[in-house]
Amino acid sequence: TEGLQFEVPHLACSVYYGALKDLPAMVRLWWNSQEKRVFSTVDKFTSKYVSGVLSAQEIASVQSSTQTFENMM
């Protein structure tokens, strides 16, 4: 049980991160339907721990892409 106190929150964070990465529209629908207290808590957590990581991954993906588009920098 000692290891579970760290494993369960870590697993929950991993599942949430994966859902945001792979199913962002579904997470947004869920998030928007929550009561204000949950909405606020999830918003703060996402802003603090997840948004920066996902943004950095998206930017790196775009920068490493070999595909080009006209008039796009």
Dump pLDDT digits (tens) for 1-59: 677 788 888 999 999 999 999 999 999 999 999 999 999 999 999 999 999 999 999 88
List of residues 6+ apart from 54 with CB closer than 8 A: 17, 20, 21
Q: What is the pLDDT of residue 47?
A: 94
Q: What is the pLDDT of residue 24?
A: 93
Other C-beta atoms closer than 10 Å to the C-beta of 51 total 13
Q: Is the pLDDT of residue 69 over 80?
A: no
pTM exceeds cut of 0.85: no
